[in-house]
Amino acid sequence: DDEKPPTRFEIVRAEIGNSEDPYEKVAWLVFKHCTSTAWFEAFVMANILLIGIATGVDLETDGGQGDRSVAQFIQLSGDLTTGVFTVEVALKLVAEARKPWRYFTDQDAGPFNCFDFFIVATGYALMGSQSGGAVGVLRLLRLLRLLTFVKGVKTLRGIIGGLIVGMKSVTYIMMLLFLVIYLFSIMACLFFGSNNPAQFGTVPMSMLTLFRVSTTCSWTSVAYICWYGCESYL
């Protein structure tokens, strides 16, 4: 039988589990008793759900205007989760011992870690700004944080991974679709341009119209205009 590949825990234990280096000892303890444990992941997931709920309440109540308790809940939730996510990033960087770049390059968790680090760093960069744009970006970042919920559920991670792999094929399908629409848009300009210049007068407009027809959005009006002409139908 094929041997199973070593787990992340086994790899880290082999690298620094028996190290005499003080920093690596600390890194091993952090990894063993904190970042690799189920309770740590559950705690982070709970905070992700909390900030998702708080952001929804924030948008629904326009920042808790008119209700002090709601405003306090939104503020405390934001401060608490920002602290938790900061500590999460710091502990995971420490757990990498003297190779902190692996936090960003890990094959399995690297993309999620990069996303987490970006959200935390951007949140601190915009912290204290009262402009409408900054507030909107902070709300968007909090909502995007919900996407990292999938990293704690293996089934969801498998689905996301499958979608990412499938996107490679979808890219070629989109290229083929663009080529087909482009060719038929040129033909449509030649055949229908004089009869329906509003929708087939130029190649870009013709491509837009054909895309609209491909989605079956009011395609009958396009057909009637091409059949009867703009002057007769409109």
pLDDT tens, residue by residue, 31-76: 988 988 989 988 988 888 888 888 888 888 877 777 888 888 888 9
- Give the tokens for residue 220: 């009958």
**Least confident segment among 8-12, 31-35, 80-84, 128-132:** 128-132
Nearest to 43 by CA among 93, 101, 83: 83
> DSSP state, 146?
G
pLDDT at 1: 46
Nearest-angstrom CA–CA distance, 106 and 96: 10
Q: Hey, is 119 helix, strand or coil? A: helix
Q: Which amino acid is at 180?
A: V
Residue 103 has pLDDT above 80, yes or no: yes
The pLDDT value recorded for residue 86 is 92
| Average pLDDT estimate for 205-215 | 91
pLDDT tens for 169-190 read 888 889 999 999 999 999 999 9
Counting other chains too, the contacts that 44-49 makes at CB distance below 8 Å and 24 or more residues apart are 44/84, 44/85, 44/88, 44/152, 45/149, 45/152, 47/80, 47/81, 47/84, 47/85, 48/81, 48/145, 48/146, 48/148, 48/149, 49/146, 49/149
